[in-house]
Amino acid sequence: MAATDKNLRELIKKLKKHKEKFYKVLVRSLSSARRKRVAVNLTKIDKIGKDGEVIIVPGKVLGNGRLTKNLSVCAWSFSKAAEKKIKESGKIVSWNEIIEKKIKGRIVV
């Protein structure tokens, strides 16, 4: 199913230019129907992430829980609470940074 959001279509197009498996997984996850995309709480991100690691969520990050580690998080969207909590203890990474700097992190699907 094709994404209807123009920004999402552009992101998928940029990701498809890279042939590594990492990017193919991201494309597959972001290309899925909206209702099938992941929604992840901060509790899960904190549980699976290691200090200083980049966590990539091809869906939405929700604000339930808190981060106890210094993590960088990249996601398609964030709830306001999640965004605030991440900025307090970690960092939000943009998709452009992931693509341009060829940052590879742990994908949460």
Digit-coded pLDDT (tens) for 15-59? 999 999 999 999 999 998 888 889 999 999 999 999 999 999 999
- Specify the CATH number for the domain of residue 89: 3.100.10.10
Residue 15 forms part of a structural domain: yes
pLDDT number for residue 70: 94
Domain that holds residue 42: 6-107
Q: Is residue 1 part of a domain?
A: no
pLDDT-based confidence at residue 3 (cuts at 50, 70, 90): low
Rounded to 10 degrees, what is the CA torsion of 74, 77, 81, 85? 0
Specify the pLDDT at position 40.
96
For the chain, the three-class secondary structure string (H helix, E strand, C coil) is: CCCCCHHHHHHHHHHHCCCCHHHHHHHHHHHCCHHHCCEEEHHHHHHHCCCCCEEEEEEEEECCCCCCCCCEEEEEEECHHHHHHHHHHCEECCHHHHHHCCCCCEECC
